[in-house]
Structure 1
């Protein structure tokens, strides 16, 4: 992807706690259905916000709206204190990096080139000199350095997911929007991805991540927003939001929430009926 080299307003450093992106009374329609209905949500610099909820709840739609990739039928989305529509494509790419659910490419680019694509928004700026460092650092963080010369389509699903995340990290935008980044990953790499989210937040970035694993959300997120039917039904610290009664109703599956024996983070366990003696 190419971006115009002139006329770009580069992002300025922000203090922890500054609102990086917010949705105000947002309604999004896909076809004849409202997938988001009057949603208010926001994420601040230095924070990891996890979006959780059942399939079809509106998690990916909210992420897409916060990215400026979905048009709102009503309400407003703001990034960096400005309505998302006021940013040009090049300026928006400097401010937010998006990881979609599926990572696909039409051509067999080698892995290193795929990661380097994340640096495209910085071409022609003073930060272009950081390209090599950013690419190498992102590949090391996601453990894909050994794959550098391999064609992207030849990778496994989990490898492609980590390469796509490396591209997002190399972009070095202050707002990261990640849609189910752990879906194709094994246990080790799921933990790796969420640790990276925490590291980016500690460095001052704002991170929004869609997750299905409530244990990961409880362990790594500063805040959890629970969506159901296109609305946010709870939003707050994991220990306050991840409650058995609420989750059982939202997921239409009985669950119980137990404190982790180390640290006390909520553990969400499905209630299962087992035949006696099995």
Structure 2
């Protein structure tokens, strides 16, 4: 008697990475997106487009919905209404491995339960490429990311032994090592000193000039004015303004959005916009 044939096991192949984007390609977009958290609306009909070759800064007061919008674009926060697309497809149509090749996400805080060394943490960014055609780039990608974020000098130290600012730079190195064409960064400068704030924003601009799309949540309006190609100002879960900093950063709009009088004027040497609170003598 012939034994029954066992079903053939078909091993799924690794997802193919996306082709390099062309300048101006839409890598992410939100269309009429509404998000509810804790029973209350946090985003209310938001439209935003993220294009290759530009840095988009999300700014606004606390509770305006900046991090929620970033989470929606990352497919980490589900939309109650509307649609979020990454590389032209609804985020729900991508598998997790496919998304990991298309977007890299830096959350507000990074914590690990095990004593991983810094280099091991950065190497985690290469996980989406394991077993794929670019796995041989791992060592170079990790080394470059650590050098760019200036963490090579403590590559062997435990992540848990680092200061807050050092952890933030290691977390950014992990994102850079992932080499995804869409970077979503939530307050990457919050724990950093002046020098490293500038370093991080320069890296954002360089990645955009190389063809990637970068979305960064910022509280420092001067940094946004200096480094962003476009700024989306959020207020109460809606987009109050979207455009180049020179057009969006108007005293009246910002004073109203932040409920704080501000002054906007050009830097006397570079001409870059400076945004400061209006203070009485």
TM-score (norm 2): 0.95
> What is the aligned partner in structure 1 of residue 228 from structure 2?
221
Of 89, 92, 106, 1:82 maps to 89
> What is the aligned partner in structure 1 of residue 35 from structure 2?
28
Of 181, 194, 198, 1:187 maps to 194
Alignment partners' CA distance in 1, 2:256 and 2:12: 51
> What is the aligned partner in structure 1 of residue 98 from structure 2?
91
Q: Deviations over 1:69-110 (max 9, x none)?
A: 001000000000111110000000000000000010011100
Count of residue pairs the alignment pairs up: 271
Pair 1:260-2:267 in alignment: yes
Pair 1:232-2:256 in alignment: no
Pair 1:71-2:78 in alignment: yes
Deviation for aligned residue 1:263: 3.0
Alignment partners' CA distance in 2, 1:130 and 1:26: 37
Cα pair 2:14 2:132 within 8 Å, conserved: no
Q: Deviations over 1:99-122 (max 9, x none)?
A: 000010011100000000000000
More off after superposition, 135-144 vs 264-273: 264-273
> What is the aligned partner in structure 2 of residue 13 from structure 1?
20
Alignment partners' CA distance in 1, 2:90 and 2:269: 43
Give the secondary structure class of the aligned counterpart of 1:126: coil
Deviation for aligned residue 1:5: 6.9
Of 124, 145, 148, 2:152 maps to 145
Over the aligned positions, Cα root-mean-square deviation in angstroms equals 1.0
Unaligned runs of 5+ in 2: 1-10
Alignment partners' CA distance in 2, 1:59 and 1:265: 24
Give the secondary structure class of the aligned counterpart of 2:134: helix
Within 5 Å, which residues of 2 pair with 1:197-216? Answer: 197-216=204-223
Q: Deviations over 1:39-75 (max 9, x none)?
A: 0001100000000000000000000000010010000
Counterparts in 2 of 1:5 and 1:142: CA distance versus 1, 3 Å: farther
Cα pair 1:178 1:209 within 8 Å, conserved: yes
Deviation for aligned residue 1:142: 0.1
Alignment partners' CA distance in 2, 1:266 and 1:226: 16
Give the secondary structure class of the aligned counterpart of 2:276: strand
Q: Deviations over 1:132-175 (max 9, x none)?
A: 00000000000000110000010000000000000000000000
Alignment partners' CA distance in 1, 2:248 and 2:271: 14
Larger Rg: 2
